[in-house]
Amino acid sequence: MQGARKRNGLAIFLVVLALAGAAGRGQRPDGAPPRLNVLHIVIDDLRPTLGTYGDSIAKTPAIDRLAELGVRFDRAYVQYPICGPSRASFLSGLRPQTTGYFGWEAPEGVTLLPAWFRKHGYFAAEFGKVFHYQRLLFDDEIARFERREGKPYRPVFRTLNPPGAWDVSDICATRDDPDGYGYLYSGVLRKEDPGAAEHVVSRGSLRPEGLKGGWFWQEWAETDLPDEQTADGIVVRRAAKAMERAVRENRPFYIAAGIRRPHQVLAAPRRYFDLYPLREIPAPPSEPRDHLDKVPPLALNFDKSFAYRVYSDADRRRLWRAYYANVSFVDAQVAVLLRAVDRLELWKNTIVVLHSDHGWHLGEHGGLGNKDTLFEESTRSPLIIAAPGSAAGKGCPRPVELVDLFPTLAGLSGLPPPPRLDGVNLQPLLKNPQATVPRAGAVSVVWRRVEGKEGRGFSGLSIRLDNHAGPARDTLGRSIRTERWRYTEWDGGQQGIELYDMTKDPRELNNLSGISELADVRGRLKALLREVDPTAADSESRIRHFD
């Protein structure tokens, strides 16, 4: 009897174990197919300077390989070309102007992508910069304490995730991180970072005269660090280990790896700089200098009077070289993740998605640096999605938005969408990249404050306005990109309109908004902007939490 009871107990235990295993692999009781894992690779400030996007100089074999395994979206746009609001948007599936939230922390009262997967039984983990994080600055209590104690200063970071969004949230850059080198996340390789400084073998910077603040200050550094001792190298290796763990534990996973480069400082191991001899970096293409005459002042992130005074062509070639070097470094870190997917044989049941949080200016339009404009260089992101059953090695010409990621990843994984989302499910485009989607344009916005005869953006630099703006108020620039056109309104059009024919003028050098023959096109795009972004009809946009 006792033996039978034992055997029965063992049988029950084995059945429970089997059921638990089935549930753990994401198999649902209704016999639906197992849920797919998600590997979400978020790169910081990466414009599509990638081989697969047609850049003949970039050496990016890993990302090119990913594109061969999935669909490359050739017209993917961010909803806000600044880290914090962009990430808050694609991780909530809502536009900043829907939530009224344009800051660094997650919007309140919304469903977040990792939390949604977690709620549906997934193991959700982030490594590196996925949500934005906050550096506790020099006057932080800990830093003050360390300085008082004579200890070396190392920046302390904390994630701005809401509690409970992830099972594991490891930004790989904490003061006590056992692997160290997290401080290379620092915006600047400060003298106070002795560990960073001693690994820098060469450095350079561009500091434009007359432009205060760090907005146009471009800095790069060649280091002697092996990849695995860089912050991004640590991020991807920990993410790979987390995938291993989830597989071992039979849990479907949503794992996000946030790679910090090519964000400033453009610090990467020297061998990546060696891939790009300066003599092989071409001079940037010239621009008609008068093209800015037709550009509204708020479209730039500096005053027009600075145009063509910021960087020389020689400066820009050095900057491009550093950017390319960092892109190849990033590519090598992506390779670590893809090798883990190979090794764990995960391609059959895993979605791999890669994109940036926005683009980056490298001196276009009279010397723009950074982001925070509505031009193509700032708003366009690479986006590659490789999912089981998706088309492989195809490019998709349809305009899509990062806010589409939430419904797409949920749909691919067999999860219901949360009740409130702004994006559309891109699954039809993954099957057939030439299919049509429910909307025909991608919308991006930026904030500007206007006061008196001046405007300001994130950079804080004063912009003289053509039209007197009156009392201080917050406004938005809103831009819609279709396959052929880009149409942009500043302050509902009061501060100017732009219209570019992107097929004939991909560098946006000829603003056609004043051409009367195109009045119909302009009117159609104005209506389409309001259709995709209903808040555009409301000139008094809700703008909260900006500081």
Contact footprint for Ca ion (CB under 5 A): 44-45, 83, 357
Which CB sits closer to Ca ion, 97 or 378?
Answer: 378
Rank residues 63 and 525 by Cβ distance to Ca ion and give the closer one. Answer: 63
Q: Which lies closer to Ca ion via its Cβ, residue 131 or residue 166?
A: 131
CB burial string 421-440: b at 16+ within 10 A, e below: bbbbbbbebbeebeeeeebb
- Least distance from Ca ion to the Cβ atom of residue 86, Å: 7
Pairing, β 369-370 against β 133-136: unpaired
Q: Is the CB of 45 or the CB of 219 nearer to Ca ion? A: 45
The total of other beta-carbon atoms located within 10 Å of residue 349's CB is 17
Minimum CB distance to Ca ion, residue 359 (Å): 9
Q: How far is CA 444 from CA 86, 101, 302, 398, 403, in A?
A: 10, 14, 19, 16, 11
How far CA 461 is from CA of 49, 143, 216, 245, 273, in Å, comes to 28, 29, 11, 48, 32
Task: Please tell me the distance from the alpha carbon of residue 445 to that of residue 82, in angstroms, as a whole number.
Answer: 10
- C-beta of 446: minimal distance to Ca ion in Å? 14
Minimum CB separation from Ca ion for residue 129, in Å?
Answer: 8
Rounded to whole angstroms, the Cα distance separating 100 from 81 reads 16
Q: Using an 8 Å Cβ cutoff, are 385 and 430 in contact? A: yes
Give whichever of 60 and 86 is closer to Ca ion, judged by the CB atom: 86
Nearer to Ca ion, 88 or 424 (CB): 88
Task: Kindly tell me which of 357 and 489 has the beta carbon lying closer to Ca ion.
Answer: 357
Write down the least CB distance from residue 302 to Ca ion, Å: 19
Q: Which helix (H) or strand (E) holds 381?
A: strand 380-381
Nearer to Ca ion, 350 or 379 (CB): 379
State in angstroms the smallest separation of the CB of 493 from Ca ion.
29
Output the six-digit token pair for 393. Answer: 């090695």
CA–CA separation, 545 and 107 (whole Å): 9
Return the number of the residue (327 or 499) whose C-beta is nearest Ca ion: 327
Supply the minimum distance, in Å, between the C-beta of residue 46 and Ca ion.
9
**CA dihedral of residues 72, 73, 78, 79 (deg, nearest 10):** -140
Residue with the CB atom nearest Ca ion in the bound state? 83
What are the structure tokens assigned to 508, written together?
A: 């946006």
Closest CA to 230 of 78, 336, 98: 336
Q: Which is nearer to Ca ion, 262 or 269 (CB)?
A: 262
Q: How far is the CB of 214 from Ca ion (least distance, A)?
A: 14
CB of 410 to Ca ion, least distance (A): 24
CB of 88 to Ca ion, least distance (A): 12
Q: What is the DSSP string of 315-371?
A: HHHHHHHHHHHHHHHHHHHHHHHHHHHHHTT-GGGEEEEEEES---EESHHHH-EES
CB 311 within 8 A of CB 319: yes
Three-state DSSP class for 257?
strand
